[in-house]
Structure 1
């Protein structure tokens, strides 16, 4: 457990490389291939167009150690704007040190301030630690399964 302070703040366009590094590490952990140029294009699209969503970053000892990435969607079943928590990632060396909890709390606050009525996410079936974190924050599992049809 690390007791050193860390800070949560909105990511800025100047954080493109550091945010992309963290998200690339997360995707690699999940065996999800993506070209770096495509990843940076997507991250830059959120950083430069606030209507698309937001990215928060966690800093520790002057380095970015965690990130949450949210996209806004409009959901009829929820009656308005929903924050889709696409990514919540903390570097392995700082996991279970409170960084994920702080990022998630800040993400929920930021989504609420942005006018979202709900936050949705998905969890890999093998990530029990992530499920426990989300359950502690009041998330409930849905009975749905997510599907994908790639267009490119």
Structure 2
């Protein structure tokens, strides 16, 4: 099974939106279709703050990953955040997410990204093992904190 990445474009909106909706339902994330569409469309239209990739065949994707960009003095320049990664339940456990999370940093580093971050539920040991296999490490001194505006 191929974890090829395809940069999602506006024509892919409905495919990506269906995957995002499935992920949000699975994770119990409270969001509306309108809010998801409004957050996703600028990424597909080329806003410089992030991008979305379809995973697998573009016409029948196996999942998606959304990357957002920022700037870090600590890491010496542009950094990126895996905002969401989702693989359809029927194809999980086949190494697709691992392949994506190993290949993505290589591509991003060629574009000048100095660090790639992600967050994971403290109780989700399966995801933590996946991320560790892909080279992500816990930062013991740091806790991600958020404030919705």
| 2:98 match | 101
The equivalent residue for 1:137 is 134
Q: Compared with structure 1, are the counterparts of its residues 103 and 93 closer, same or farther at alpha carbon in structure 2 (3 Å cutoff)?
A: same
Tell me what 2:21 maps to.
24
Q: CA deviation at 1:50?
A: 4.4
1:149 is paired with a residue whose SS is coil
**Counterpart secondary structure, 1:74:** strand
Any gaps of 5 or more consecutive residues in structure 2? none
Q: Name the residue aligned to 1:39.
A: 36
Q: CA–CA distance in 2 between the matches of 1:72 and 1:11?
A: 16
Q: 3-state SS of the aligned residue for 2:4?
A: strand
More strand by share: 1
Structure 1 outlier segments of 4+, above 6 Å: none
- Deviation at residue 69 of structure 1 after TM alignment: 0.4
- Tell me how far 1:62 sits from its aligned partner: 4.5
State yes or no: 1:67 paired with 2:64: yes
Secondary structure, counterpart of 1:51 in structure 2? coil
- Over 3 Å counting, the alpha-carbon distance change for 1:100 and 1:128 in structure 2 is same
Instruction: Output the aligned Cα RMSD.
Output: 1.8
Aligned residues: 148
For structure 1, the 5+ residue unaligned runs are none
The secondary structure found in structure 2 opposite 1:89 is strand
User: How many angstroms apart in 1 are the aligned matches of 2:8 and 2:90?
Assistant: 21
For residues 72 and 101 of structure 2, the distance between their equivalents in structure 1, rounded to whole angstroms, comes to: 21
Could you tell me which residue of structure 2 aligns to residue 77 of structure 1? 74
CA distance in 2 between counterparts of 1:5 and 1:79 reads 33
Alpha-carbon shift at residue 79 of structure 1 (Å): 1.3
C-alpha distance in 2 between matches for 1:61 and 1:70: 17
Q: By how many angstroms is 1:68 displaced? A: 0.7
Residue 111 of structure 2 corresponds to residue 114 of structure 1: yes
SS in 2 for 1:63: coil
CA 1:74/1:37 → structure 2, altered by over 3 Å: closer, same or farther?
same
